[in-house]
């Protein structure tokens, strides 16, 4: 596929961290990857394409695996060659993935972050992540510095999303952490916790925020990557902003959910006809 400004992800933004004696974190930048859905009107070939693109530091655009942490250059992967008439295609950007990257002597290190643009030009932004060897913190480009959040108990995020100018993150215990642009924060636990949850994802779906939980009856049944499908089920809940709670739902409004460690997203099932079987929600 030829380079096209239509598919060009946002320019990498610098997000310097505190410098430690080890040198770790002295040159960190934000890497952006974009997930696109392409719909072709060509009746002689595939009608739907779903792919992720990454812009490298030198400006080259490379294909990136949707669900594996690799791109075509880093692992010398080869994809089938094809050509598309973009004049006969519709292109939709479904999601953006943001990662904090640093390159110490042992190689590139990528870390999960939440990203929120504060203006239309993407010049001012906020990042929610972890400082090296420290807890969660927020970086605001307008300040040019990190502010460590005072959160009780150790925190390891399973998911982070931005929604209505706030960050929502969930940790390994199921606690939801809400961070305001003013850096004020509060936390809440869902009123109906599931003690069978083994893994969680947060994602924006349409105008909603969804919490997806993978559950097993016994903890011994949850063993990545060899999870037996018959032993697991999924629960989906919708964020209730007014009540600070998660309400379990029985369907996802005819949407297909794609779940990945750093970049989860959704699209309407009608937009990828014949390509994916949606997962049904199960109530306990």
Tell me, what's the pLDDT at 20? 39
Tell me, what's the pLDDT at 70? 62
Tell me, what's the pLDDT at 139? 84
Tell me, what's the pLDDT at 236? 94
**pLDDT single digits (tens) 112-135:** 888 888 877 667 888 898 766 577
Q: What is the DSSP letter of 71?
A: B
CB under 8 Å to 214, separation ≥6 — which residues?
Answer: 197, 198, 199, 200, 222, 232, 233, 234
Tell me, what's the pLDDT at 278? 37
pTM of this structure = 0.80
Tell me, what's the pLDDT at 45? 66
Q: What is the DSSP letter of 281?
A: P
Tell me, what's the pLDDT at 253? 86
State the DSSP string of 26-51: SSEEEEEEEEEEEEE--TTS-SEEEE
**pLDDT single digits (tens) 218-263:** 877 776 666 666 678 899 999 999 999 999 998 888 888 988 888 8
> Given a cut of 50, is residue 98 above it in pLDDT?
yes
Rounded distance between C-alpha atoms, residue 49 and residue 63, angstroms: 13
> Given a cut of 80, is residue 101 above it in pLDDT?
no
Rounded distance between C-alpha atoms, residue 27 and residue 103, angstroms: 7
Q: What is the DSSP letter of 1?
A: -
Residue 154 pLDDT grade (very low, low, confident, very high; cuts 50, 70, 90): low
Asked if residue 113 lies in contact with residue 99, where contact means CB atoms within 8 angstroms, the answer is yes
> Given a cut of 70, is residue 51 above it in pLDDT?
yes
**pLDDT single digits (tens) 6-48:** 454 454 555 555 443 344 444 567 778 888 888 877 767 667 7
CB atoms near residue 42 (< 10 Å)? 11
């Amino acid at each position: 596929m030829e380079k096209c400004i239509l598919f060009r992800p946002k320019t990498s933004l610098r997000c310097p961290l505190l410098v430690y004696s080890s040198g770790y974190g002295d040159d960190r930048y934000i890497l952006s990857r974009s997930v696109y859905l392409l719909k072709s009107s060509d009746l002689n070939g595939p009608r739907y394409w779903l792919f992720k693109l990454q812009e490298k530091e030198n400006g080259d655009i490379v294909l990136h695996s949707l669900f594996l942490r690799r791109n075509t250059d880093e692992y010398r992967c080869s994809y089938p060659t094809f050509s598309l008439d973009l004049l006969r295609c519709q292109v939709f950007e479904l999601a953006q993935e943001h990662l904090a990257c640093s390159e110490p002597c042992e190689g590139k290190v990528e870390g999960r972050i939440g990203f929120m643009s504060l203006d239309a030009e993407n010049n001012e932004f906020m990042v929610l992540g972890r400082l090296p060897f420290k807890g969660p913190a927020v970086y605001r480009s307008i300040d040019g510095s990190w502010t460590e959040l005072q959160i009780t108990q150790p925190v390891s995020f399973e998911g982070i999303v931005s929604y209505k100018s706030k960050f929502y993150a969930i940790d390994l215990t199921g606690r939801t952490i809400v961070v305001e642009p003013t850096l004020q924060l509060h936390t809440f636990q869902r009123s109906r916790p599931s003690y069978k949850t083994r893994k969680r994802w947060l994602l924006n779906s349409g105008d909603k925020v969804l919490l997806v939980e993978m559950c097993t009856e016994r903890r011994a049944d949850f063993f990545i990557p060899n999870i037996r499908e018959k032993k697991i089920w999924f629960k989906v809940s919708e964020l209730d902003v007014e009540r600070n709670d998660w309400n379990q739902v029985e369907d996802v409004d005819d949407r297909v959910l794609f779940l990945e460690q750093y970049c989860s997203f959704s699209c309407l099932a009608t937009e990828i006809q014949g390509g994916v079987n949606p997962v049904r929600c199960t109530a306990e």
